[in-house]
Structure formats: structure tokens, C-alpha cells
């Protein structure tokens, strides 16, 4: 019968155990950073496209942390709440983005999403490298 001896497996096992313990915190940190980037970009896009007349839409942009049915965490950036006349801010944001028969949409939300994707990729890369370096798995 053949025997296999491996040196250093204990260190690898310990590093993996340590990493597994910190993954939840890492995920929360990355999601929070991504939510803040998206919120900032949506707010900037609202200002750039001139959708700030009363400021209601701008103040309604919120980040909501949640978990889906399978237990995966995510962050949602949305226009929350209602206006004084009862119109939902989400509906106003939708119409300003896509338009309707008597109003051209400015696609401000989509522009913010594209900018967010680029920025988030960089932040994710940096945070992942820092996390792996901290855990000694670089």
C-alpha cells in the first residue's frame, strides 16, 4: 500500500478555516461599499440630468440590504417612499429614466449603473486582494 506524506497541510487547513470565518464580514463590507458607490452615482446622475427641481427624488435614493430566498446577500439601490400627491418615487424615477409618450427618457439611471460597474470592479479587486493578503493567501 502506498503512503503519501504532505508537509504544510496543517497551515493550509488553518488558513482556510480562518478565511471561512471572515468571509461573511468581507461580503458585508464589499456589498456596503458597492451600495454606497451606486447610491453616489445615481445621485450624481440625477443632478447631471437636471432631475432635482424639488429635490424629492434625490432625497429618496436609499440603499437596502437584504437576503434572497437562497440566503444570498445583496444590496438594492432604489427610489423609496412616496411624494405628497401619493405618487411613488420609484415610478417617477422609472418615467424619468425611460420616458413616456409625452416625455423623452434621459437614461440617467442606466448611466449611473454603467459608471458603478466600472468603479465597483476596481473596489472589489482591491478589497479582495487586501482580504487575501490579510489571511496569508496571497
pTM of the model: 0.79
pLDDT at 1: 42
Cα separation, 31 vs 27, whole angstroms: 6
pLDDT computed for residue 6 by the predictor: 44
What is the per-residue pLDDT for 27?
81
From residue 110, alpha-carbon distances to 9, 64, 98, 133 in Å are: 48, 19, 10, 34
Instruction: Give the residue-averaged pLDDT of 52-80.
Output: 89
Amino acid at each position: 500500500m502506498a503512503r503519501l506524506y504532505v508537509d504544510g497541510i496543517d497551515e493550509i487547513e488553518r488558513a482556510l478555516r480562518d478565511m471561512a470565518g471572515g468571509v461573511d464580514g468581507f461580503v458585508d463590507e464589499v456589498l456596503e461599499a458597492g451600495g454606497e458607490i451606486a447610491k453616489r452615482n445615481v445621485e450624481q446622475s440625477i443632478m447631471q440630468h437636471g432631475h432635482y427641481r424639488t429635490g424629492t427624488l434625490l432625497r429618496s435614493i436609499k440603499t437596502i440590504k437584504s437576503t434572497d430566498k437562497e440566503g444570498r446577500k445583496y444590496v438594492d439601490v432604489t427610489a423609496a417612499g412616496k411624494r405628497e400627491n401619493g405618487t411613488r418615487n420609484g415610478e417617477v424615477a422609472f418615467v424619468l429614466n425611460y420616458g413616456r409618450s409625452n416625455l423623452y427618457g434621459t437614461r440617467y439611471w442606466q448611466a449611473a449603473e454603467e459608471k458603478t460597474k466600472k468603479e465597483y470592479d476596481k473596489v472589489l479587486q482591491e478589497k479582495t486582494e487586501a482580504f487575501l493578503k490579510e489571511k496569508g493567501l496571497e
